[in-house]
């Protein structure tokens, strides 16, 4: 895998209908190897924004740069080798006759040698625990499995930047944790991961950085702990931090350490508070 490029957005504007801009002058930089959650209300422009990162949408004004190069100079096909995109709805993506074929599709289209295609496909099947479904038609699988197939297919393309649009929707907590651990592993290998989600518990437990979108603008882009401390700002966009962070926040006036993200963190902080350290 090539090392991840720096992704930069400069003054990006976009609308689907004239005079109702969905993105209003977005500027941001996502560093190589960054693992960032994109959060915000339904309709705030999250999906529209990330669809610019791989050229699925072209800006009406502004620029999208990969390593300082405007992506307008690249075809969607060429960009697909650098930026992988997992759709929100797996059924918008799945069409293969078998799960194996579905996953091999990307690598085949990259004109990779046959043994490389096979190696990547087998690796993806194993990593997502899909081997037993290799010969099954993916459209016939249950929702959770279809979701995994759609991610495995993009995983096999081994793009240095991976975008996932609400990948944990409809998954139980166990499948969610397994998936997030796998995504964390991809990040540790050096990939840039951009994750759209409404699940703040997923963000708190697995995603180190966070970007808040409100009405087509980036409100804040910082560490998750710092973002989750901004109570008023989050309230203005109806984001609720996880229950344990809410509890922690209510006890800050009693001396509890600020910025609690997880249950073990709360326990430690509460213990410190009680023992007076």
Partner 1 sequence: MLRGVDFAVEEGEFVSIMGPTGVGKTTLCLGLNGIVPQSTGGMIKGDVTVNGLNTKRTLVPELARYVGLVFQEPETQLFNMTVEAEVAFGLESLGFPPKEMGERVEWALSVVGMDGYQKRSPFSLSGGQKQRIAIASILAMMPKILVLDEPTASLDPLGKTEVFSVVRELRRQRGMTIIMVSFESERIAEFSDRVVVLREGQVEMQGTPDRVFAQVELMDEIGLAVPQVSELAYTMNRRYHTTYVFTQLEEAYQKLTNNSGRPWRRDSG
The residues of the shown chain that bind partner 1, judged by CB under 8 A, are 40-43, 142-145, 166, 169-175, 198, 200-201, 238-240, 242-244, 246-247, 250-251, 254-256, 263-264, 266-267, 270-271, 273-274
Q: How far is the CB of 187 from partner 1 (least distance, A)?
A: 23
Give the nearest distance from C-beta 89 to partner 1 in angstroms.
Answer: 8
Q: Of 75 and 275, which has the nearer Cβ to partner 1?
A: 275
Cβ 76 to partner 1, closest distance in Å? 25
Query: Left (φ > 0), alpha (ψ -120 to 50) or beta: where does 55 sit?
Result: left
CB of 198 to partner 1, least distance (A): 5
CB atoms within 10 A of CB 167: 25
CA distances from 69 to 74, 83, 156 (A): 9, 14, 25
Q: Residues 6 or more apart from 240 whose CB is under 8 A from it?
A: 200, 234, 246
Closer Cβ to partner 1, 159 or 168, answer by number? 168
Q: Measured from the CB of residue 185, what is the shortest distance to partner 1 in angstroms? A: 20
Q: Do 234 and 228 contact (CB within 8 A), yes or no?
A: yes
Minimum CB–partner distance for residue 193 and partner 1 (Å) = 21
- How many residues in the chain? 277
109 or 243, CB closer to partner 1?
243
Nearer to partner 1 by Cβ, of 41 and 98: the residue is: 41
Minimum CB separation of residue 82 from partner 1 in Å reads 29
Q: For partner 1, which is the closer residue by CB, 40 or 84?
A: 40
- Residues 38 and 46 sit within 8 Å (Cβ to Cβ): yes
Q: Which residue reads 């759709």 in tokens?
A: 87
Please give the C-alpha separations between residue 264 and each of 101, 205, 223, 245, 268, in angstroms, as whole numbers.
43, 11, 19, 11, 6
- In the complex with partner 1, which residue's Cβ is closer, 34 or 166? 166
| C-alpha dist (Å) from residue 212 to 9, 53, 62, 217 | 15, 17, 20, 8
Pick between residue 87 and residue 266 the one whose CB is nearest to partner 1: 266
Q: In what order do the strands lie in the sheet with 209-214?
A: 83-86, 161-165, 192-196, 35-39, 209-214, 217-223
Q: Report which secondary-structure segment, H or E, holds 146.
A: helix 143-155
């Amino acid at each position: 895998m090539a090392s991840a490029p720096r992704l930069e957005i400069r003054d990006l504007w976009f609308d689907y209908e004239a005079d109702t801009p969905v993105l209003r002058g977005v500027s941001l930089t996502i560093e190589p190897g960054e693992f960032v959650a994109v959060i915000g209300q339904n309709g705030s422009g999250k999906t529209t924004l990330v669809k610019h990162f791989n050229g699925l949408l072209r800006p009406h004004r502004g620029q999208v740069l990969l390593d300082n190069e405007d992506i307008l100079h690249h075809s969607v096909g060429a960009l697909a080798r650098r930026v992988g995109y997992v759709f929100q709805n797996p059924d918008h993506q799945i069409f293969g006759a078998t799960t194996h074929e579905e996953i091999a599709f990307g690598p085949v289209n990259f004109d990779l040698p046959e043994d490389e295609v096979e190696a990547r496909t087998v690796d993806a099947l194993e990593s997502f625990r899909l081997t037993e479904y290799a010969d099954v038609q993916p459209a016939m699988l249950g929702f959770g499995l279809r979701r995994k197939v759609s991610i495995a297919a993009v995983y096999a393309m081994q793009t240095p930047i991976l975008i996932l649009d609400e990948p944990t929707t409809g998954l139980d907590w166990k499948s969610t944790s397994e998936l997030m651990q796998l995504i964390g592993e991809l990040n540790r290998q050096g990939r840039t991961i951009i994750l759209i989600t409404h699940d703040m518990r997923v963000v708190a437990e697995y995603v180190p950085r966070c970007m808040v979108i409100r009405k087509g603008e980036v409100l804040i882009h910082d560490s998750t702990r710092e973002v989750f401390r901004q109570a008023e700002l989050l309230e203005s966009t109806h984001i609720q931090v996880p229950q344990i962070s809410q509890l922690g926040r209510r006890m800050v006036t009693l001396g509890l350490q600020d910025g609690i993200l997880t249950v073990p963190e709360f326990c430690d902080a509460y213990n410190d508070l009680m023992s007076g350290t």
